[in-house]
Every structure is written in C-alpha cells, then in structure tokens.
Structure 1
Amino acid sequence: MSKKNDSFVASGGSSKKDKKKLKTSHTTNQPLLQNTQQQQQQQQQSHKTTSLTGGSLPLAYTFPIEHIVSFCPEALLFTNLLEFEKRLDSAITKRQVDLQEQQRIRQPKLFKTLRLSIYNTYSNQSAFYHLDNKSLVSVQDKPSWTLRIEGKLNDDGSFSQQSIYKGTPYAQQQQQQQQQQQQQQQQQFQKKRKFTSFFKKVFIQIGHRDSCEWDKSQALLETDGFEVKRNGHQEIDIKILMYLDHSPQRYKVLGNLAGLINVHTDTKPRIINAFWSYIKTNKLLDLDSKKINCDDNLKSIFGLDVLQFNQIPQILREHLGSPDPLEFNYTIKLSGDRQDYEQAYDVNVELDDNPISMNNSAAKHQILSLDEEINQCVQKINVHKRKREFMSKLADQPLQFLHDQTQQLVKDYQVLKSNSSSGFEEERHSSFYYQPLMSEVVDKYLSKQSISSPQTHVLPPSTPQTPSQSS
C-alpha cells in the first residue's frame, strides 16, 4: 500500500482531532498558497473586528465597570447601550425572520438545477515505477492525485411550483410584469451564489483509513468547489456525502410516522400541519376536553392513549431527524483522460431569492468597522485606567508605593535570572499566579495572540499509514 500522508492545508475553521478540513478555492486553477493567504487575511480581519453583539466585550479588553465609574461616569451609559443593543438585535432578527417567512408564503418556490462535477487529476504516476522510495525526496516528486468537486447553477433547468394562472388578460399582464421583476432580482442574486452556499457540510471518506470534512459554520469564504490532494499510486474508492443547506430548515420524519402522515422530508410547520390533518380526518380531537385520542397507529408510534394539544410539537420533535445527504461513490483513476471518468449529476436546489437577505453585506461591514473602533476605544480606556491607578497610588503614599514597586521589580528580576539549579519553587504554588502582575501579563499575551497573523498549518493524516514497500 502506498504512503498517503500528504500535506493538507486547512483553509477555514478550527481543525478537529481525527478529521481534516477540505481545501476550498474560488477556481480550481488557483494555487493553494494564494487561496490560503486570502483566507488568512479574512481570518485576521475577523480577529481584529470582534463583535460586541450580545453585550460582551473582547476578553483582553474587559474590566470591572465599577472601577472606572468614579472618574468615567459614561461607563454606565456604555453598559446600558450594550444591553439595549442586545435587545434591539434580538427584535430585529425576530422581525426579519417573520418577514422572510411571509415573503416565502406569498411568492412561489423557485428551483434551479445545480450541475455537480466530480473528477480527479494525477501527477508523477509514471515516474514512480522507475524510482525507489529513497529517491522520492520531496512531496512534489511523489506520485499524487487531486480530487475535485465543482458545481454551478444551470440557467436552463429552472422551474417553479406555481400553477398556471387563469384570469383576465389585464391580470395576466400584471402577473407577467411581476414575474419579470422577480426574475431580474433572482438573476442578480444567483450571480452572488457560490457552490458551497448550497451545502452546510461535506464529508469525504477516502478508502477505509482517511477522511475529510468541510463545515459551513467554520468556513470563512464561499467558494466554487472543493479540492483534496493526497500522495499515492494506487486507485482508491471515494465516498462523498453532501448535506444540503435548506432554508428554512427541513427535517426527515422517522419510523412509521412518515407513512402515516405521508411526509418524508419537509419543514417543521408543514410536518405539524400534516399531522394535524391526520387528526382531523380521523376525528381524533375531543372538542370538550381539547385532547387527542390516539388510535391504534398513534399508540404504536407514541405509546400514549391521549395527547394534549400543546404536546404535539414536543412529541413530533422526538420523531424528526436530519435529512438524508446526497451520496456519491467515485473511484480515483490514475491513467487516461479525466473526461473519460468524470461524473456529472443534476441536483434540484431551492433558491432563496429574498431581497431581505441580500442587502445585509453593507450593513454588516459598517457594524464591523464600528465594533473595531469601539474595541480600540475600550483598549485605550483600559490603558489610561492603569496609568491613573499608578499615579493615584504614587500621590497618596509615595514612599510606600516606591518601596512596593522596588520589591516587585527585584522579585521579577530574580525570577528571570534564576538558574535551573535553584528551580522555580514559587511557580509550583498557586499563590504565585494570583499576583497583580499576572493579570497584566495575561492581557498582553492575549492581545498579541488576537492580532497576530495566522500561519499556514500542515495537518498530519487522520490515521498513521505505513509507507509502501518497493518491489
């Protein structure tokens, strides 16, 4: 078996212990290092613009408000503003969700065809058989293959679930004008959609010992495809699981309940509506007590004789699961033209052409810039607070303060200059870490960590693999 512990560069999110992230790129022809640097800049920007939403400050800049109220009464106003911002964000988010749901109900569903392509490329495969393992010095010289998953919307495959409208010619003309306006908005929105925006998670099983995972919640950028590179000179089977990102969230009805209400996968409100239709059709609702008398089918599913009306969402939640992913099987080929073994699939995806969700980028950018200014101001206040405390202690008791400072400096100097023979005996006790100096040192360390630019990390393979033996 060939050695497959290649370099795998994580481009977004935090790495897991046993799984590695997929490397994503805007176009498959761009170099890996360039894409990594772009995402590092985004990650660095996200570190610098820590949001204050939710009434919390960055860890390195927090300090007790009561300590500065005496000389800065505006601090109480700032905390009140944070609480108000928290309530305002919650109200805006709730209202936005309501508007989006109402707009989805009024407008017909629009579906598009997503053309999915899976193929692989390879390099240095023929040269491997003329060299032994000792001659393969660098990764570039080793035989390798690259799996690529790409996708784009097919404009010719769009269709709508709206029924044919039959009315007066004037009404039909008005409807055609509305449809044209909607199509123009949809075309502008579709130009911004990337391939990864249609999925929330992608899992790739490589053989039996290696796997990769991409999670949308940990990705920094939306891209046009995925790319996985490995070292190897043998064909290997690949299993790809792609989880669609439904909006609103959809659920799979589990067990016999799916056949009972005739729903396999749908949104939670529609599942509850189908369950309520079953209750009304079979006349299971007791109008006097407002209770639901379970028939034999419901008794076998829920194990209850009577249901309360307000128990329906909670009971149905126990019989709902995640939708089934899209599953594809692919075999890495190391000879021939890639067009001969490229696989293509058409997937119907629902487009969220809601303009409410389209006009948020400018506002979010403005909020991030304001948050960055607030963080800088808070950091300056914290610095001036320490200076004020220093001067205040010096003014109150100059002799005692200078004596304490001198002892502290001598102690710090002894700790720094202590050799290995004497040992750091004080560091073995917890009281050493409760000194006033420690809080300042920790703040400085966290500040440097938050503003330092991230470096490119080469992740090890998920499981150790043995190198191949040359025949």
Structure 2
Amino acid sequence: MTRKLAEISDALARTPTVTRTLRVFLSHSVSGQSWQEAAAPLQDGASMEVESGQAIPAWTFRVEGRLLDVGSATSRQNKTPARKFSSFVKRLVVDWDQDPNVYAQPNMVEWQRGPGVTEQDGFEVKRRGDQDVNVRVLIQLQHTPERFALAPELERVLDIHEDTRTNIITALWNYIKINSLQDKVDRKLIRADADLRPIFNADTVNFHDLPQLINRFLQPPPPITLNYTLTVGPTAPSGMQAFDIDIETEDVSLKARQSAVVLSMTSESAKGLAALDEEIASTAQAVRNAQQKRDFLLRFAEDPARFVESWLASQSRDLEVILGNDHGVKDEDLKRSDFFRLPWVEEAVAVQEGLRVANALQPPPGR
C-alpha cells in the first residue's frame, strides 16, 4: 500500500497521456450563385454591390473540430471545460485549385500558432467563385511534448516512425546496451556497429554527444491531409464531412484522481496504511509457514521411513553448521535420543530458529 502511494506521487511528476479522437468537420455554403438568383431574383432597381459582395457568386469553406467525449455521463458532467479546436493545431493550411487568372485572390490561406493566440472552435475561408473547386486541408498537430518523425536511417535502427525526443534517445540507449556497444574501458565511449556507423559518421562517439547527433535525424512529422470537393451547384451538400484523427492528449481525469489520492492522505491515513502493510506482511508470513507445514506433512505421508532418515540427516548437517563441528558430532551420537537433551542443544536450536524466523519475516525482494 505504501509502495503504491509512492508510485502515485512519482507519477504526478510526469504528464499522463491518453489516446483520444479528434473529429474534424469540413463543410461549405454558397451565396449569389446563378441558381440561387433564379430562385430569388433581385428586386426592381437592385444591382450587384461589388464592395459588399451582395449578389456576387461566392462560397464559404469551414474547418471545425472537437475532441470526442468518453466515459459515463457523470464523468462528462464533472470534466473541465472542453479545449477548443485550435488548441490541438500548430499550423493549418487550406488551398484550392481555383484559376488565378480569373480570381485574383490567393489560392491558399495559412494559420500558424503564435504567442498570445486566441483559441477558437474553427476556421472559415470566404472567396468569390461560381465553379466547383478541390480543397486540400493540411493540419500540423500541436504535441506536448513535441513529437518528431525519424529519418529513414534512424527509423530502420530503432523501428520507430514518430515519437518524442526523450523516447527516441531512450530507445537508442537501449539499443546500445542490448548490443553491448559501450567501450569496455572508457564507458563514456560508444562504439558504432554497422547500422549506427552511417548515423554517427564515425567509429566511436562520446555518450554526451548522442542528443546532438540525433537532432540531425529528427524532422517535423508530416501534416495530416484532408481532401474535400466544394460544389457550388444546386446539388451542393448541405451537411458536412467528418474525419477522425487519433491524438495523444493529457489525461486530465487520471491526474486529478492521482492528486486527490495524495491530497487526501492525512497522518491518520498514513498510520492506517502502515497498519495495513504490517497486516499484509504478517498474513504473507502465515501463508508461507502454512505452505512449509503442508509440504513437510505431504513428504512425510508419502514415505515416512525415508522422510525420517532424510530429516535426521538434514538436522545433523544443520547442527554441524551451528556448532562448527566443535563438539565432534558423530552419527552414533545422533542415533541416541538423550544426545538431543544436552543443555547446549536447546540453546543451539533456539539460535537457529531465531535466525530462520528473522529471515522469513524479511519482505521479499522488490516489495
């Protein structure tokens, strides 16, 4: 119990993560299209207003998203406020294949995270046009800690496609240990094998230079690409398309529960845990003693004569160990019952039993 509490306290120093689903919605709407004007013609005397865009064919493209809820209704009610979509995005690019000779506006817009940025639930692009266009959305996710894609040379060695810098360096260190690449004399030197030589570009490197060497083989992960067909005709879809993206995000619920466990610990609770630990240790010792007694009786029941002979021989060896054979114990002496009633025998047995019980009461390794 005490060990588990210590593990929880240690885990609070790290950021627990969980894989969640980020659902991205793509949709669009149109205005001023010919089929719309035919259905609702301009009133007498009205005309197109170039400045305001009224009655000019145009479309509006939207990118929205949210993190899907998980768990029971109670957990959703008690959760912290939902993060906005832009908080998961590091960089977002929207481009489309509109003819630049017809439409002078740029065919691409970009949003990039910067200091003091205001989080929002989505992005919106408005452009003029009366033709269908193919839209492409590129999303670079915001990871904390930052994640990197590995260059092919390093990916082949570590069998990792994408991870954090810390995990990549840890994986490389594990590879070095498994393949015994540390120098036998100078442990700070790493000897490159056939796979690491192209990465290190040397036969040996210093252990402290590994992070700097790894940086050359790390690059931003590729963006997520979403394709969308924007139609402006009467058959334009009124709904939206949804795309699911798996992301790693902070497990707020788990961290809150861990914090609650640590904060709820009072001096009385600590004493209660200590008492439970003592009770667990005593119960474990009782189980071990019962197991030893059961094994003893089972061996005796299988072959009593041979068991007694083996047991006497074992006791003889133990007695010689205790006495250091100073008393000259002989096999003939062990066959006489009065030999075991001598004064020194009782003291020797008490010492031996005391040592055995003390060893049995010690907690097993790793406890």
TM-score between the two structures when normalised by the length of structure 2: 0.56
- The match for 1:293 among 191, 201, 204 is 191
* 2:9 is equivalent to residue 118 of structure 1: no
* 2:57 is equivalent to residue 146 of structure 1: no
* 2:49 is equivalent to residue 137 of structure 1: yes
Per-residue deviation, residues 95-142 of structure 1 (Å, max 9, x unmatched): xxxxx99537474x32222221111110111258989xxx64321221
* In 1, Cα distance between equivalents of 2:116 and 2:10: 26
- The match for 2:154 among 252, 257, 275 is 257
Deviation of the 1:353 alpha carbon: 4.2
Distance change >3 Å, CA 354–CA 341, structure 1 → 2: closer
Secondary structure of 1:150 counterpart: strand
Secondary structure of 2:152 counterpart: coil
Per-residue deviation, residues 370-422 of structure 1 (Å, max 9, x unmatched): xxxxxxxxxxxxxxxxxxxxxxxxxxxxxxxxxxxxxxxxxxxxxxxxxxxxx
Alignment of 1:69-218 (within 5 A): 103=12, 105=14, 107=16, 109-126=17-34, 136-138=48-50, 139-156=53-70, 184=75, 188-189=79-80, 191-207=81-97, 210-217=107-114
**Amino acid of the residue matched to residue 23 of structure 2?**
R
Q: Report the counterpart of residue 321 of structure 1 in structure 2.
A: 219
* In 1, Cα distance between equivalents of 2:211 and 2:167: 12
Q: Report the counterpart of residue 408 of structure 1 in structure 2.
A: none
**Amino acid of the residue matched to residue 205 of structure 1?**
D
Contact map agreement 1:206 1:239 (CA 8 A) in 2 = yes
Distance change >3 Å, CA 227–CA 104, structure 1 → 2: farther
Q: Report the counterpart of residue 333 of structure 1 in structure 2.
A: 231
Deviation of the 1:219 alpha carbon: 6.3
* Larger relative contact order, structure 1 or 2 (CA cutoff 8 Å, min sep 6): 1
Deviation of the 1:275 alpha carbon: 0.5
**Amino acid of the residue matched to residue 49 of structure 2?**
V
Q: Report the counterpart of residue 174 of structure 2 in structure 1.
A: 277
* In 1, Cα distance between equivalents of 2:31 and 2:123: 18
Distance change >3 Å, CA 237–CA 106, structure 1 → 2: closer
* In 2, Cα distance between equivalents of 1:263 and 1:193: 29
Contact map agreement 2:35 2:233 (CA 8 A) in 1 = no
Query: What runs of 5+ residues in structure 2 fail to find an aligned partner?
Result: 1-8, 42-46, 99-105, 257-367
Per-residue deviation, residues 187-236 of structure 1 (Å, max 9, x unmatched): 533x2311111111101112265210111215632111111000010111
**Amino acid of the residue matched to residue 202 of structure 1?**
L
Q: Report the counterpart of residue 121 of structure 2 in structure 1.
A: 224
* In 1, Cα distance between equivalents of 2:184 and 2:110: 51
Percent of paired sites with the same residue: 32
- The match for 2:246 among 340, 344, 348 is 348
Contact map agreement 2:90 2:141 (CA 8 A) in 1 = yes
Distance change >3 Å, CA 186–CA 284, structure 1 → 2: farther
Per-residue deviation, residues 56-106 of structure 1 (Å, max 9, x unmatched): xxxxxxxxxxxxxxxxxxxxxxxxxxxxxxxxxxxxxxxxxxxx9953747
* In 1, Cα distance between equivalents of 2:196 and 2:24: 41
Secondary structure of 1:286 counterpart: coil
Secondary structure of 2:69 counterpart: strand
Distance change >3 Å, CA 298–CA 199, structure 1 → 2: same
- The match for 2:201 among 303, 309, 312 is 303
The answer to which of 248-257 and 338-347 deviates more is: 338-347
* In 2, Cα distance between equivalents of 1:343 and 1:101: 43
- Whichever of the two has the greater Rg, that structure is 2
Per-residue deviation, residues 302-339 of structure 1 (Å, max 9, x unmatched): 32111110000000011101112111111211124654
Deviation of the 1:352 alpha carbon: 2.0
Query: What runs of 5+ residues in structure 1 fail to find an aligned partner?
Result: 1-99, 159-179, 359-471
Aligned residues: 232
Q: Report the counterpart of residue 336 of structure 2 in structure 1.
A: none
